[in-house]
Structure 1
Amino acid sequence: MRQLFVAVLLTAAAPALARDRADDVPPAKLAGPTRTCLSLASIEETLVRNDQVIDFRTTGRRLYRVALPQRCPGLGSERRFGYATSIGQLCAQDLITVLYVSGPTRGASCGLAPFQPVTLVR
């Protein structure tokens, strides 16, 4: 069987000069049960908060937070990552790879975690 692989680059809106600090993660409250996967078509924006937290904004302005099980070196400073999938979804068991602005160099590959719906506390 032939598999179709889709590679996608997600770039956060934050500048690459942003620092990887815990206070880059805005407080949030839980807004429902976790999800194992998100449809690629529903992901509108990613916000890399630091080496361990990524927020995914989806259609309908829904926000899902992923707290990686371990730090992903370089993610917080580069704020860019790529991934490959064959099913049209990004899932908790998938790997992301840090992409460097300075060229085609790839960084660490890190496992995702479940997607927790949240509402930012202002």
Structure 2
Amino acid sequence: MLATSLLLAAPALAQSTPRSQQLWTPDGAPVNCISLQSIRSTHVVDDRTINFVISNNRMFTNTLPRACAGLGMNRAFSHNSRTTQLCAVNSITVVQRGANRMAGPSCGLGQFQPMKPVPATPAATPPAG
């Protein structure tokens, strides 16, 4: 078994349309696990929602079954997976801000909802006249 401990934070994504402003919609049924190796970045939305950006410009949204105190404020968490996947049965631990980056509460994950970007609609042009 592979023991993995990983700290995931929400780095800024340098793209023409920032992911925080891009609209996403569900794309199929939720899955129980995603590959740790495929995770490129994460974005903590609030105390219950984490977006996992994976290879090939895909994203999975994980809605935790319950709010995880401090997750939205600290925007960083760690996990300790004993496999090569992050699954709904795993827990995360909030990493608190500050010089010593103390561990905060641990919370269970939910299923991973595949998401796809909503195609951008061209801006309406005002009528001539």
- Same fold, TM-score > 0.5, yes or no: yes
Runs of 4+, deviation exceeding 4 Å: 24-27
Question: Displacement, 1:45?
Answer: 0.5
- Give the unaligned 5+ runs of structure 1: 15-23
Q: 1:67 aligns with which of 63, 78, 82?
A: 63
1:118 aligns to 2:94 (yes or no): no
Task: Tell me which amino acid in the other structure corresponds to 1:31.
Answer: D
TM-score (norm 1): 0.83
Root-mean-square deviation (CA), in Å? 1.9
Query: Alpha carbons of 1:60 and 1:26: their partners in 2 closer, same or farther (altered >3 Å)?
Result: closer
Task: Tell me which amino acid in the other structure corresponds to 1:113.
Answer: G
Residue 9 of structure 1 is matched in structure 2 by 7
CA distance in 2, matches of 1:9, 1:56: 13
Task: Tell me which amino acid in the other structure corresponds to 1:5.
Answer: A
Report if aligned partners of 1:25, 1:49 keep a CA contact under 8 Å in 2: no
Question: Displacement, 1:84?
Answer: 0.3
Question: Displacement, 1:13?
Answer: 2.1
User: How many residues are aligned here?
Assistant: 111
1:106 aligns to 2:96 (yes or no): no
TM-score (norm 2): 0.78
* Secondary structure of 1:32 counterpart: coil
